[in-house]
Amino acid sequence: MSKYSLEAFVNETKENPQQKDYFELETPHLLEINLNNQAVWTKRGSMVGYVGGINFERQGMLAGGIGNLLKKAISGEGTKLMKAEGSGRLYVADSGKKVRILYLNNESVCVNGNDVLAHEQSVKSDITMLKSIAGMMAGGLFQVKLSGTGHIAITTHGEPLTLMVTPDNPVFTDPNATVAWSGNLSPDLKTNVSFKSLIGRGSGEEFQMKFSGNGWVLIQPYEEVYFTEK
């Protein structure tokens, strides 16, 4: 059999039937969620395929998942979730970004809203905005705090790097390259330029996130720019 034959291609790329965990990485960029009469929240538009009896429901403006009406109105596309419920195998992905599965054990983690791919229904989610004019102008600078017990899946552009935060060594990051941080940290947004110089700019080194205390911050080798839906 030729290594370029259709049979060889199918054998190389087909799913692994031995994988039965709730959340599984089918490939580094593709998450498989095995549902057994369960429900899960996924980023809207992330479904690329499914097998079995799975129903999808758009999140209502005031229903479960992330946030309330006001938060949804100002927080951009990264907050919109889809509820998937039933039994079968669900495949989700986000623009070819790398997927990382985390299991929370009565813990919390904060994630950039655009980098949340999926989470179990048992995991509580809540949005907080960075309350500064620079943060609002950057677009997409809102955080989702995921807490409780259960699986979550986050995405990064390329291989991420974790920076440790200590009281003696605060960490400064580019907001658009910041993916996640430990749930006990509350970042400040710092800027050393005037408001006038920020007008018309969507990203860049004009301002940074400052993390102080004890914890960690996850960054990616890419500055992701977000656009709020009209």
* Buried residues in 11-27 as b, exposed as e (16+ CB within 10 A): eeeeeeeeeeebbbbbe
Among the ranges given (54-58, 67-71, 116-120, 216-220), the one the predictor scored with the smallest mean pLDDT: 67-71
Tokens of 225: 């720019």
Instruction: Identify the pLDDT of residue 48.
Output: 97
Q: Quick check: 84 pLDDT over 60?
A: yes
Instruction: Identify the pLDDT of residue 226.
Output: 55
pLDDT in tens, 195-218: 445 544 444 456 788 999 999 999
Domains of the chain in start order, with CATH, are 19-219 (3.60.160.10)
Q: How far apart are the first and last CA of the chain?
A: 53
Percentage of the residues of the chain whose pLDDT score is greater than 70: 73
Mean pLDDT (the chain) is 80
pLDDT in tens, 3-55: 777 688 788 777 777 667 899 999 999 999 999 999 999 998 999 999 999 99
- Rounded to whole angstroms, the Cα distance separating 124 from 64 reads 9
Residue 63 φ/ψ, nearest 5 degrees? -95, 150
Are the beta carbons of 214 and 166 closer than 8 angstroms? Answer: yes
